[in-house]
Amino acid sequence: MIYSVDVRIEAPVRDTEVTDRVADAVRNVFPDAEPIHEDGRLIAEAHTLDAFSDVLHEQEILDTARRVFLRNSTDDGFDFSLKKQAAFEGVVNFAVGEPDELGEIDVEVRVREPDVEAFIDYVAPETDEGRPVDPAREYGDRIDPEDAEY
């Protein structure tokens, strides 16, 4: 699938935290992003969620991710938050309910192509008994944004 998305990732860095560890948490689930430290927070941008989608497949949490994405979607994209500590371990754990005292990793996805629902289908396809139903991509089938055909 050819798509065009902008992903903004933001995470607060509290005085009690080590900036590099928060950056590692971001890179562990978004390896295509390179966080920069700015005014007590890390900010990163990416243009793919393929590696993140691979983690969702590995953890077998496609249904959970899909619900979170659809619940927080608009005509322009979708937003979600992740627990920092879990991300540091390379695990996706969606933040729901009361926010952690250290803050969370906030992710904003703006979809230009295709439409938002089709992109959600690509990142977190519908499942039947935990297996993707007619997935738009195979697990591990990452797109290289540097590829000339991209």
pLDDT at residue 80, rounded to an integer: 97
Q: The whole model's pTM is what?
A: 0.85
Neighbours of 71 (CB within 10 A): 11
User: Measured in Å, how far apart are the chain's first and last C-alpha atoms?
Assistant: 9
Q: In the β-sheet with 41-46, what is the strand arrangement from edge to edge? A: 36-38, 41-46, 4-12, 104-113, 77-83
In a domain? residue 21: yes
- Number of folded domains in the chain? 1
pLDDT at residue 150, rounded to an integer: 36
pLDDT at residue 136, rounded to an integer: 59
pLDDT at residue 141, rounded to an integer: 55
CATH of the domain at 108: 3.30.1440.10
Instruction: With a cut of 50, list the residues of the chain below it in pLDDT.
Output: 143-145, 148-150
pLDDT at residue 98, rounded to an integer: 78
In a domain? residue 54: yes
